[in-house]
């Protein structure tokens, strides 16, 4: 018969933190959330550390180049999804790495022969009021003019009027060459009282836009994560099938870290992939692996050379692996088991392999619990899919905005490589769903709120950094009744519209 683990498989929602002594120095502003991303030896520092313990999931509906830039600006790392052609993934990495803070690539562009209706439709899709008019209608075409809401009046301008008839033409615009610095660009904006400054190359092709409204925001990223060349740190997902072609392309594009994207990482295929990367790049290319749910799986990947190990099977909000295959483990139990194995591995070998908790996060405080249980950082899918910067479309359902969110094992994604078992190149059955998540606004606003909650909770436990938090934290199992007690109860709650509901 099968070996039976004599334990209940627990989730984050079954635990609470016990407060510790809060000293005068334990205030959120004094808390550091710096954490290692990749392995390091005892007495040394990780070659790549993050300023917040959050990375984005390797998913089509989550991690594109826009989210990579936004998350790096806040101190985390995005792993750009690999379920796409090698060339397009490498281009996403390249875009994120070449992004110059303050120089925004134009993603609202139109041809001069388009109409006002086209302008209004584009504005509705992108929510941007500044539209570049280029010869070919792309963000890198020859700049001909700019259209803003000041250039037309819906009540007076015919809906079929050509853009070229009401745009502000190039000869009336102030533009800057692409060798201008951000400081110089901002001086031009302020000297000429501009709202937008187009940046063009020697041939007149549009390269970027600099906005007046972004001036303050560019000074408002104290945690931004940069490489030695002041470029954002960017990660990318790979698989165990085409890695010999994909990895070189991603490395050439500038990816700082890779991660094998798989539903189950305790496999020869992952070990072979890690071995190939190690031999080809002599340790210069960093690659995480996973996913596993126990100590044995961790040791296997650590010995294989994984630079970090992802923990979690079946705990994602769009994952149905446990339903379809009957494998997995409660995320809290998995994290605690693997983190103990990591600490034992460190004592035995002197090598620290960071642990990433992937899945099972429903509330912000679950992130804090994962850290207390030993995780170095968490990987989030649903959390990031809600934001403007995620690739999914924003749609309105019954008067409420949502963002599209689909699993890599869904029929929509068809990411068979993630569920590769060494057989035919196909997805035999679904292990994920296609869904919607409530739209939540910008990444910056939400991440800052979440990290403030984490810092506040750490202060309640008497800690000002993640390591001391893990040493000092005390956690307790809670009953179903305790969980109910923890929310609003036995009162009549007010609705936002002035009504009431029972709580």
DSSP letters for 297-352:
HHHHHHHHT-SSEEE-SS-STTB-HHHHH-----HHHHHHHHHHHHHHHHHHHSEE
461: which residues sit within 8 A by CB, 6+ positions away?
A: 17, 18, 19, 20, 372, 469, 472, 473, 474
Report the C-alpha gap between 342 and 71 in whole angstroms. Answer: 27
d(CA 144, CA 132) in angstroms, rounded, equals 8
What's the token pair of residue 272? 């072979």
Token output for 388: 């403007």
Catalytic site positions: 319, 418
Query: What one-character-per-residue DSSP string does 399-463 give?
Result: TEEEEEEE-TTSTTT--GGGG--SS-SS--S--B-EEEEE--B-HHHHHHHHHHHHHHHHHHTT-
Indicate the burial class of 29 (C-beta count within 10 angstroms; 0-12, 13-18, 19 or more). exposed
Judge if the upstream peptide bond of residue 291 is cis by omega within 30 degrees of 0: yes
Q: What is the CA radius of gyration of the chain?
A: 25
What the block records as the tokens of 92 is 């996403």
DSSP state of 103: B
Tokens coding 34: 């710096």
Contact 354, 46 (CB under 8 A): yes
Residue 347 neighbours by CB under 8 Å, 6+ apart? none
């Amino acid at each position: 018969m099968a070996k039976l683990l004599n334990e209940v498989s627990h989730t984050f929602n079954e635990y609470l933190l016990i407060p510790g002594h809060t000293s005068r120095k334990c205030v959120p502003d004094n808390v550091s959330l710096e954490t290692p991303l990749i392995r390091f030896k005892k007495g040394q520092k990780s070659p790549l550390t993050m300023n917040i313990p959050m990375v984005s999931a390797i998913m089509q509906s989550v991690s594109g180049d826009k989210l990579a830039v936004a998350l790096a600006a806040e101190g985390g790392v995005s792993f750009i999804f690999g379920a796409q052609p090698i060339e397009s993934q490498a281009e996403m990495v390249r875009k994120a790495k070449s992004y110059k803070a303050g120089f925004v690539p134009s993603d609202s562009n139109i041809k001069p022969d388009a109409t006002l209706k086209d302008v209004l439709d584009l504005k509705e899709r992108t929510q941007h009021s500044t539209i570049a008019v280029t010869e070919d209608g792309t963000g890198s075409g020859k700049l001909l003019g700019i259209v803003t809401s000041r250039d037309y009046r819906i009540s007076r301008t015919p809906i079929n009027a050509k853009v070229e008839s009401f745009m502000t033409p190039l000869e009336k615009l102030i533009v800057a060459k692409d060798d201008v610095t951000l400081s110089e660009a901002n001086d031009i904006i302020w000297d000429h009282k501009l709202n937008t400054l187009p940046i063009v190359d020697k041939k007149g092709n549009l390269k970027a836009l600099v906005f007046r409204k972004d001036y303050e925001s560019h000074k408002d990223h104290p945690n931004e994560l940069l490489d030695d060349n002041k470029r954002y740190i960017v990660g990318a997902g790979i698989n165990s099938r085409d890695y010999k072609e994909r990895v070189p392309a991603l490395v050439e594009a500038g990816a700082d870290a890779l991660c094998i994207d798989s539903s189950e990482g305790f496999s020869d295929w992952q070990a072979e992939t890690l071995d190939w990367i190690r031999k080809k790049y002599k340790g210069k290319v960093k690659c995480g692996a996973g996913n596993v749910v126990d100590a044995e799986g961790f040791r296997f990947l650590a010995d294989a050379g994984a630079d970090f190990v992802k923990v979690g099977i079946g705990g994602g909000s769009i994952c149905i692996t446990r339903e379809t295959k009957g494998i997995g483990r409660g995320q809290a139990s998995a994290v605690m088991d693997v983190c103990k194995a990591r600490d034992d591995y460190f004592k035995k070998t002197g090598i620290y392999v960071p642990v990433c908790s992937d899945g099972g996060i429903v509330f912000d405080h679950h992130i804090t619990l994962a850290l207390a249980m030993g995780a170095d950082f968490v990987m989030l899918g649903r959390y990031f899919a809600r934001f403007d910067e995620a690739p999914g479309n924003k749609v309105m359902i019954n008067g409420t905005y949502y963002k599209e969110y689909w699993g890599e094992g869904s029929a929509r994604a068809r990411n068979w490589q993630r569920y590769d078992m060494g057989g035919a190149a196909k997805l035999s059955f679904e292990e994920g769903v296609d869904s919607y998540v409530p739209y939540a606004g910008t990444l910056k606003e939400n991440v800052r709120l979440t990290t403030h909650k984490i810092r506040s909770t750490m202060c309640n436990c008497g800690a000002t950094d993640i390591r001391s938090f893990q040493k000092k934290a005390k956690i307790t199992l809670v009953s179903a009744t305790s969980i109910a007690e923890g929310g609003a109860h036995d009162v009549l709650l007010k609705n936002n519209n002035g009504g009431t509901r029972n709580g």
